[in-house]
Amino acid sequence: MHLSCLAPGARRWHIGFVAGSRHKSGTKPSLRLRVTAAAESIVRGGHPWVFAQSLRAQNRDGETGELAVIFDRKDQFLAVGLFDADSPMRVRILHAGKPQAIDTPFWERRAQDAFRQREGLFDSQTTGYRCINGESDGWPGLVLDRYGDTYVLKLYTAAWLPRLQELAPLLARGNRLVLRLSRNMQETAANRFHAHVGQVLLGEPLAGPVEFLENGLRFEADLVRGQKTGFFLDQRENRREARALADGRNVLNLFSYTGGFSLYAADGGATSVCSLDISELALAGAQRNFALNADRAAIARCGHEIIQADVFDWLRQKASRRFDLIVLDPPSLAKRESERAEAIGAYAKLIAGALARLNWNGILAASSCSAHVSAAEFFNLTLEMARKSGRRFAELKTTGHAADHPTTFAEAEYLKCIYLRLLE
Ligand code: SAH
């Protein structure tokens, strides 16, 4: 599709952003796009995604990683974004509104904005947190997490790869920087950009997992093989809540991963904690994390049991044991919209099974990280399962995203948690 019909406006299109274009040839005209009226108003409203089916015309084929400039119906600048030729999410918007040069000072300002937003959120007892949360921080498809002196850069689009050299120093700020890549782009990254998972972009090579602090507790994270960027930093505030609720309680941590909630519960005075996960690797990590904190009296006192099992199977067994605090934090059960109905059914089973294992006065903290299941849906489902159980529950509170995981548009909201207490 070409824009011959738009030729009269073409000259104006070069104003303002050619300087920022790092196109290899240097002679190619900048990539110019027009989108449907619906996409135009979505982008004008600040939404960061333009899908392939919303493109109406482009002046030439685009290459993954180059800047694409979107013009509105009146041939005025609408937005500039990163083009991804291989993804249905064809453009990720970097800036909308007035023309803007996308150059090194622009990236520096963007990084500074994100770092400034985290200033004052954490003291020296928390050295693991998110520094850049993708589109919601103006870095679409890019996440930056801190683990002590090591930072992990996780990319969800190959469009960032041609810019790694330029961006790595200003993201790492003198620290070690490790690269993680979403599965769907790993082949492109290897073949076209010689980039791979676990690559150390800056600093010393990794010698195994790294250690960091979260609310005074020591954790290790495998930044290369671990889930997400190595740890579920997004659950920090709910783990803190679990610590506040755990005193004198026996605790069950379902989908425990490397024992984050378990450690907090033990530190909060739990009498015993049971970490249950399907992954042997995750449970071995949980044991190491307990060992790392053995100098804390409450943790040393607390019995830690490990069960390697499928939570769904385990909950189907007859409920002989009861718990005073149950943490339920399954992986995303709906990765796409088509899996939503099935996910709701799975959540219903998990919630019912967990509620059935609560002692009198027991508390359930149920989380969902499926973006395709809304917070309202998940909370209503949990309350409905509580009603169906025939027992009386009080809703204690609900939580959403923590301040280091901000969200600026609906699709970015995935994490929610509801706390219920059994009254009788
Ligand atoms: N609550 C954890 C994060 C949980 S991540 C934290 O705060 O760190 C989800 C975990 O569920 C992963 O460790 C994964 O191994 C585990 N998992 C996935 N499917 C499972 C299943 N069917 N049964 C048990 N564990 C499962």
Q: Are 273 and 265 in contact (CB under 8 A)?
A: yes
The answer as to whether 184 is a domain residue is yes
Ligand 1 atom closest to residue 235's alpha carbon, by position in its atom list: 7
Give the count of beta carbons closer than 10 Å to the beta carbon of residue 255.
20
Query: What is the Cα–Cα distance from 261 to 236, expressed in whole angstroms?
Result: 9
Query: What are the backbone angles phi and psi of residue 366, rounded to the nearest 5°?
Result: -110, 125
Residue 28 lies in a domain: yes
Q: With 60 as the cut, is the pLDDT of residue 119 above it? A: yes
pLDDT tier, 4 (very low <50, low <70, confident <90, very high otherwise): very low
Answer with the residue of higher pLDDT: 122 or 22: 122
Using CA positions, which residue lies closest to atom 26 of ligand 1? 278
Mean of pLDDT values over 113-131: 98
Q: What is the mean pLDDT of residues 140-145?
A: 98
Looking at the fold, whether 96 and 124 belong to one and the same domain comes out as no
Q: How far is the CA of 325 from the centre of ligand 1 (A)?
A: 17
What's the domain count of the chain? 3
For residues 26 and 298, which has the higher predicted lDDT (pLDDT)? 298
Tokens describing residue 298: 């409450």
CA of 207 to the centre of ligand 1 (A): 25
* CA dist list (Å): 359 to 196, 250, 294, 323, 420: 48, 10, 28, 5, 12
Q: Provide CB contacts within 8 A for 7, sequence distance 6+.
A: none
Ligand 1 centroid to 48 CA: how many Å? 30
Q: In angstroms, rounded to a whole number, what is the distance separating the alpha carbons of residues 343 and 141?
A: 25
Q: In this model, does residue 379 exceed pLDDT 80?
A: yes
* Per-residue pLDDT at 1 exceeds 60: no
Residue 223 has pLDDT above 90, yes or no: yes
Classify burial at 410, counting beta carbons within 10 Å of its beta carbon; exposed 0-12, middle 13-18, buried 19 or more: exposed
- Cα of 313 vs centre of ligand 1, distance in Å, is 14
Tell the residue number behind the tokens 């219920």, with chain if given: 420
Same-domain status, 256 and 379: yes
Where residue 386 falls (left for φ over 0; alpha for ψ -120 to 50; beta otherwise) is alpha
pLDDT band of residue 395 (cuts 50, 70, 90) is: very high
Distances 283 to 32, 147, 230, 255, 271 between C-alpha atoms, Å: 50, 20, 14, 10, 20
Could you tell me if 224 and 160 are in contact, meaning their C-beta atoms sit under 8 angstroms apart? Answer: no
Q: Are residues 123 and 66 in the same domain?
A: no
Q: Is 329 in the pocket of ligand 1 (CB under 6 A)?
A: yes
Per-residue pLDDT for 7 more than 60?
Answer: no
Q: Cα–Cα distance between 285 and 301 in angstroms, integer?
A: 19
- Residue 215 belongs to a domain: no
Boundary-marking domain end, from 183, 202, 221: 202
Query: Residue 14 pLDDT > 50, yes or no?
Result: no
Same-domain check for residues 94 and 108: no
pLDDT score for 318:
82
Q: What is the pLDDT of residue 324?
A: 98
Q: Looking at ligand 1, which residue's alpha carbon is closest to its atom 22? A: 310
CATH code where residue 59 lies: 2.30.130.10
Tokens read off for 182? 């979403």
What are the tens digits of pLDDT across the range 57-84? 999 999 999 999 999 999 999 999 999 9
d(CA 114, CA 131): 6
Q: With a 6 A CB cut-off, is 255 part of the ligand 1 pocket?
A: yes
Determine the average pLDDT of the residues in 28-47: 96
Task: Ligand 1, residue 331: give the atom nearest the CA.
Answer: 9
CA of 278 to the centre of ligand 1 (A): 7
Q: Is the pTM of this model over 0.85?
A: yes
Domain assignment of residue 417, yes or no: yes
Give yes or no for residue 420 having a pLDDT over 80.
yes
Ligand 1 center to 314 CA (angstroms): 13
In this structure, the answer to whether residues 10 and 29 fall within a common structural domain is yes
**In this structure, is residue 406 part of a structural domain?**
yes
Distance 253 CA to ligand 1 centre (A): 10
Residues 177 and 38 in one domain: no
Q: What CATH number is given to the structural domain containing 143?
A: 3.30.750.80
Tell whether 38 and 148 lie within a shared domain: no
CA-to-CA distance for 115 and 178, rounded, in angstroms? 18
pLDDT exceeds 90 at position 9: no
- What does the pLDDT look like over 241-287, one tens digit per residue? 999 999 999 999 999 999 999 999 999 999 999 999 999 999 999 99
DSSP alpha helices (H): ranges in 155-310? 164-172, 186-193, 236-245, 260-267, 280-292, 297-301
The pLDDT value recorded for residue 335 is 86
Is residue 360 included in any domain, yes or no? yes
Reported as a pLDDT band with limits 50, 70 and 90, residue 319 is confident
What per-residue confidence (pLDDT) applies to 26? 56
Share of the chain above pLDDT 70, in %: 94
Q: Is pLDDT above 80 for 23?
A: no
Give the atom of ligand 1 at the shortest distance from the alpha carbon of 238. Answer: 7
pLDDT score recorded for residue 320: 80
- Ligand 1 atom closest to Cα of 314? 23
- Tell whether the model's pLDDT for residue 22 goes beyond 60: no
Contact 219 CB / ligand 1 (< 6 Å)? no
Q: Measured in angstroms, how far is the CA atom of residue 330 from the centroid of ligand 1?
A: 5
267 lies in the same domain as 407 = yes
Measure 331 CA to ligand 1 centroid, in angstroms. Answer: 6
Q: Are residues 400 and 375 in the same domain?
A: yes
Any ligand 1 atom below 6 A from CB of 312 = yes
CATH number (domain holding residue 245)? 3.40.50.150
Written as six digits, the tokens of 52 are 């392939």
Task: For residues 124 and 32, state if they share a domain.
Answer: no
End of a domain among 101, 120, 143? Answer: 101
Query: Which residues form the domain of 181?
Result: 104-202
**How many CB atoms within 10 Å of residue 392?**
11
Out of 255, 280, 347, 350, mutate this one to test ligand 1's pocket (max ligand atoms within 8 Å of CB): namely 255
Atom of ligand 1 nearest to the CA of 231: 8
Residues 252 and 360 in one domain: yes
Place 214 in a pLDDT band, splitting at 50, 70 and 90. very high
Q: What is the pLDDT of residues 90-106, one digit of tens each?
A: 999 999 999 999 999 99
Is 373 a residue whose pLDDT tops 60? yes
Q: How far is the CA of 7 from the centre of ligand 1 (A)?
A: 55
For residue 286, what pLDDT is reported?
98
Residue 10 has pLDDT above 60, yes or no: no
pLDDT at 187 over 70: yes
Q: Do 194 and 333 fall within a single domain? A: no
Q: Does residue 6 belong to any structural domain of this protein? A: yes
Decide which of 75, 101, 127 is a domain's last residue. 101
Alpha-carbon gap, residue 235 to 178, rounded angstroms: 22
Residue 311 CA to residue 278 CA, distance in Å, equals 7
User: pLDDT averaged over the chain?
Assistant: 93
Residue 70 lies in a domain: yes
Mean pLDDT across the stretch 3-13?
34
Residue 77: name the closest of 102, 97, 92, 91 by CA. Answer: 97
**What tokens appear for 95 in the block?**
């800036």
Residue 11 has pLDDT above 50, yes or no: no
pLDDT band, residue 343 (cuts 50/70/90): very high
Pocket of ligand 1 contains residue 331 by CB under 6 Å:
yes
